[in-house]
Amino acid sequence: MQQFHMLLVVYVVYVIATASPGPSNMAIMSVAMSRGRLPALALVAGIMTGSLSWALLAAMGISTLLSAYANALVALKIGGGLYLIYLAAKSAMSAWMPAPLDRQATVEPLAFGKLYRRGLMLHLTNPKAILSWVAIMSLGLKSDATGYTTLAIISGCATLGAVLFAATLSCFRCR
């Protein structure tokens, strides 16, 4: 029963971290509204891959590594912050551009692979994602945790993430 409560706490923390506004949610909404659901799903696939990468790294002890090498965390935060500033500047520049008369004609098609890579890089450089997974694993993995506990955390959070990102897509009118 204690294992169930611990997993429930982990899942609640994951839902809060994933559903709270951040660069991933904003990117998904932007792509869904400007390009449609299918391209947004390619972006979501990249974001989920990045999230699962951080989950695996956190489960394998990245939190121990980062606490031992605090400078690595600082470098990771700076790199992620610079990438997010780049994305914000790109968004600001597009906001300053005059709106085209025919929005359909100006949206260049992006290959799904490019959208996938964009989602992956967005999530791999997102400090919020990194710190969320370190917190989730530190809550869920105690010294007596089994491999099944790690599997339950990662697979449960992956399922919740897919549901949350799909819900994000369904909340907005897509092309």
pLDDT of residue 151: 92
CA 138 to chain centre: 19
- Cα separation of 35 and 113, whole Å? 14
Residue 63 has pLDDT above 60, yes or no: no
- Cα separation of 77 and 56, whole Å? 19
Q: Are 121 and 82 a contacting pair, CB within 8 Å?
A: no
Residue 99 has pLDDT above 90, yes or no: no
Encoded amino acid at 75, one letter: A
pLDDT of residue 52: 93
Q: Are 33 and 174 a contacting pair, CB within 8 Å?
A: yes
- pLDDT higher at 72 or 158: 158
- Cα separation of 167 and 86, whole Å? 27
Per-residue pLDDT averaged across 71-78, rounded? 67
Q: Are 117 and 42 a contacting pair, CB within 8 Å?
A: no
How would residue 152 be classed by pLDDT, with cut points 50, 70 and 90? very high
Residue 101 has pLDDT above 60, yes or no: no
| Residue pLDDT, tens place only, 113-125 | 999 999 999 999 8
Residue 143 has pLDDT above 80, yes or no: no
Quick one: which of 15, 13, 33, 26 has its CA closest to 126?
Answer: 26
How would residue 36 be classed by pLDDT, with cut points 50, 70 and 90? confident
Report residue 102: phi and psi, to 5°. -115, 95
Encoded amino acid at 155, one letter: S
